[in-house]
Chain A
Amino acid sequence: MDMTQYLNMFLEESREHLQKLNEALLDLEGSPDNKSVLDEIFRSAHTLKGMSATMGFSQIAELTHDMENVLHKLRNEEIKTTPGILDLLFKCVDALDSMVSDIASGGSGSLSIDDLLAELKTGNPGSFPATPDSGSAVGTTGEENSEDGDESVIITTIEFNEYEKNLIKQAIDQGFQCYHLVVNIDPRCIMKSARAFMVFKNMEEIGEIIKSIPPVQDIEEEKFENSFDLVVVSREPTEVIRKGLVTITEVTEPEIKLITGVFKPLNELPVDKKEVPATGDPVKPTVDAKAEESHPVQHQTISRAKINQTVRVDAARLDNLMNLVGELVINKTRLEQIGRSLQVPELAETMEQMDRITSDLQNVVMKVRMVPIENVFSRFPRMVRDLARDLGKEIDLIIEGKETELDRTVIDEIGDPLVHLLRNSIDHGIEEPAVRVNAGKKERGTVILAARHEGNNVVIEVQDDGRGLDIERIKIKAIEKGLVLPEEAEEIDEHSILRLILMPGLSTAEKVTDLSGRGVGLDAVKNKIESLSGSLHIESAPGTGTKFKIQLPLTLAIIQALLVLIEREIYAIPLSFIAETTSVLPQQINRIQEQEVILIRGDVLPLVRLNEVLQVPPSGIPREEEINIVVVRKGEKRIGLIVDTLIGQQEIVIKPLGKILGGIPVIAGATILGNGQVSLIIDVASLF
């Protein structure tokens, strides 16, 4: 069977589980006695093991298997949760991560893991049997049991331990059906485990698997003949269960039996279904111990069954959908123009409807493309932990608003700038513990990473309670680097000084670490955010900390823009940059050293003639006497753009210009107007 079709699913799910492992390990580090976290880790490791074994990535399976052994010992309190053990587990997760990445890039997922395996084994004294010696003890004792007489024998050949009995009892009490399935796989099937995997998957979608014979592990390792038994609880009727099985190729007609009064033999089953003896487990101690061992499997399958009603969709398809909606918006605008010139009332009415539906559709598609920022944030706790350890600092990372949603286009881009800012806070912001104590602060520093919506924007803040920015040092550095003149430095206000650290080449770090301090960081962050049509603000107070505030638009695909005419050419200016529009008479324009300026409410506003910047050929159209000015802002700065005519505000769909035109200055992209003409979007940030 060709496994490549499952590869993507495998990669995605592996990454999810690795992420979960990372998070859970961090939790465990915080509260070493938390059993439920340990269970979670176990489940993720176990699932990874199963998936990788099915896909034939034996090294991942081997490593996770040994991790499981250690985890098992932790859970049984045979060994203690020490920092050493945690580090080892973190290292394992890193190794798994590299292996998965290797597979993703077409490799075989092979990596030298002998050292890790050895460490896992030594950190794991007392030999734990590598594989539970098959499910025989549990699986095939049915017949003996039937001789045993009434108590624990049930309809089938399955034996349950206390835990399972309880589960079944609870399920039936809550109105679930409990099924015993005998799944038969075509004897000619080549990869039985893959089919079994699909059986498990399908069953987990419609119910919960509470037991399998032989155990999941053995099934994954193909240690079964042509059939295996499952006990499933579900709200669905038999027919749905049957369908879930027979739709898988090479799975033949299953036997499905309803389990009702669980622990009574069939012949003794009267009308009373719910009579379940809570005690008096007749199962022999040896068998019980065995069953105890298969607990992890049960935990895992049960929790996994809580599936959200979601569909995984290829991101490219979403992009495609977005493009189509963009087309629709463009054509709607075109229709509106035609409608206006024809002045037909019926058409106008229909157009209104169209308009409403299109904007609803656009909203829906935008929402579909929205991704919680958690996708970016989730990798930071681990990063902060590692950095703090490397630097000998103690830092708590507090994440707020991780459910805040952003367009996928923005999510993809925002990760790196945030890494920069966090590193900055950890490296430069938070002081060494001793310094903090001397300053009368808590020994542990705090970094807050928060996201929230503000109108049509998303605000992301990175805040630390560290030493704050040293205004004097920034001044000195800026003068040294020639960014400001000494006499200027004395006059500029504090806020402008803070913004100096966003200039290229300025770093106030006294020691350069490999993390930051080389003066490439913050200006890169600023540029990235501006390229996303966002802005970056800094607040800082000496001794109490620094806050970086990023403001971003919700989406980059469809924006509001002002269309302007320059000679005969139409350009679009993104509305997010526009402060206001105004008009002046030619004689109101003054010159300060070759720079044209106007006074607007007492402030000097430098002017930029767009026809010159854009090299627009003169058309000879006579100008109006008044000069139209679009005032745009970037951060604190404002400039006025001189245009010929203001056409109006319109929703535009941003289209890239194509590779061959990449890197064109002043132009941010193109859009298609209602009349089908291409109009260029002005890159306002580049004009400052």
Chain B
Amino acid sequence: MENDVQLVACTVDNEEYAIDIRSVQEIIRLLDITRVPHASPYISGVINLRGMVIPVMNLRKRFGLPDQKPDETARIIIINCNGSMVGILVDSVSEVIRIPRQNIEHTPSCSSNVNTEFFSGIGKLGSRLLIMLNLDNIFEIRTDHQGF
């Protein structure tokens, strides 16, 4: 048990990804998102989570994947990122799974069409392959706001 890792599995553009459950605050259905002008294109906007204003990042855009209007299955995963909350918009959240630590490979040699700096490894569960997300790198946005 000690050696198991609990992961939240989610999908983006038919690819399965996983996030360490310890950084997940909660998972919510899609809320009204308020657009923020001049924000980075990866940021969809901000939501009201019980009185807190939380930015939401669209993972599809972050990964450079084709944009798609969120449907019924879309979810926002609220991540506690060093004390501040950030939501990430995914196509769907499938389940919480537990896999042994040794089943995680830390050399990302996957053949995904997405920039590998966003990944921290691959989790194997039977025949399923889950791409582990590197949240720190995903949230690292160079702030080159265009002035005007």
Contacts and interface: CB of A to CB of B under 8 A. Distances in A.
A655 B84 contact: no
B129 interface: no
Contacts of B147: 665
Given A323-B51, A670-B53, A661 B39 contact: yes
B34 A677 contact: yes
A2 B7 CA distance: 39
B38 A657 contact: no
Interface string B26-55: 000000101111110001011110011111
Interface stretch (B94-102, B106-114, B138-146): B138-146
B12 interface: no
Contact of B46 (A661, A662, A676): A661
A658 B55 contact: yes
Given A330-B51, A613-B37, A680-B37, 19 more contacts: A616-B37, A657-B53, A658-B86, A659-B84, A660-B57, A660-B84, A660-B139, A660-B141, A661-B36, A661-B46, A663-B145, A664-B39, A670-B46, A670-B53, A672-B51, A676-B48, A678-B45, A678-B46, A680-B34
Nearest to B146: A665
A614 B53 contact: no
B38 A658 contact: no
A201 B90 CA distance: 58
B35 to A, nearest CB: 7
B38 A656 contact: no
Main DSSP-derived SS at the A contact region: mixed
A327 B51 contact: yes
B51 A657 contact: no
Given A657-B53, A670-B46, A677 B32 contact: yes
A658 B85 contact: yes
Contact of A660 (B48, B51, B52, B86): B86
Nearest to A669: B53
B51 to A, nearest CB: 5
A655 B53 contact: yes
Nearest to A678: B34
A326 B53 CA distance: 13
B48 A677 contact: yes
Contacts of B51: 323, 326-327, 330, 672
Interface residues of B, number: 28
Interface string A509-528: 00000000000000000000
B85 A679 contact: no
Interface string A157-198: 000000000000000000000000000000000000000000
B85 A569 contact: no
A123 B57 CA distance: 67
A267 interface: no
Contacts of B32: 676-678
Contact of B48 (A614, A661, A672): A672
A664 B53 contact: no
Interface string B121-148: 0000000000000000001010101011
Contacts of B86: 658, 660
Interface residues of A, number: 29
A666 to B, nearest CB: 6
B145 A664 contact: yes
A343 interface: no
Closest 8 A/B residue pairs (Cβ): A678-B34, A614-B37, A655-B53, A670-B53, A327-B51, A615-B37, A678-B48, A659-B84
Contacts of A663: 143, 145
A676 B38 CA distance: 23
Nearest to A327: B51
Interface string A302-344: 0000000000000000000001001100100000000000000
Contacts of B46: 657-658, 661, 670, 678, 680
Contacts of B141: 660
A656 B36 contact: no
17 contacts: A613-B37, A615-B38, A655-B52, A658-B53, A658-B54, A660-B84, A660-B141, A661-B36, A664-B38, A664-B39, A665-B145, A666-B37, A670-B34, A670-B46, A676-B32, A677-B32, A680-B34
B84 A569 contact: no
Contacts of B143: 662-663
B36 A680 contact: yes
A661 B57 CA distance: 11
A557 interface: no
B36 A660 contact: no
Given A614-B37, A666-B38, A680-B34, A661 B43 contact: yes
A667 interface: yes
A74 B39 CA distance: 65
A670 B32 CA distance: 14
A665 to B, nearest CB: 5
A296 to B, nearest CB: 47
Nearest to A676: B48
Contacts of A670: 34, 46, 53
Contacts of A327: 51
A657 B36 contact: yes
A91 B125 CA distance: 68
A614 B39 CA distance: 11
Nearest to A331: B51
Contacts of A662: 143
A678 B47 contact: yes
A327 B52 CA distance: 9
Nearest to B42: A660
A665 B148 contact: yes
B48 A667 contact: no
A667 B148 CA distance: 13
Contacts of B81: 660
A325 B37 CA distance: 29
A404 B139 CA distance: 43
Nearest to B47: A678
B38 A679 contact: no
Interface in A635-688: 655-667, 670, 672, 676-680
A659 B51 CA distance: 17
Which of A655, A660, A663 gathers the greatest number of chain B CB atoms within 10 Å? A660
Which of B37, B43, B139, B148 gathers the greatest number of chain A CB atoms within 10 Å? B37
Interface in B50-70: 51-55, 57
Contacts of B48: 672, 676-678
Contacts of B53: 655-658, 670, 672, 678
B34 A667 contact: no
B53 to A, nearest CB: 4
A670 B45 CA distance: 11
A198 to B, nearest CB: 35
A161 B148 CA distance: 79
A657 B45 CA distance: 10
A666 B145 CA distance: 11
A661 B145 contact: no
A676 B50 CA distance: 9
A390 B131 CA distance: 64
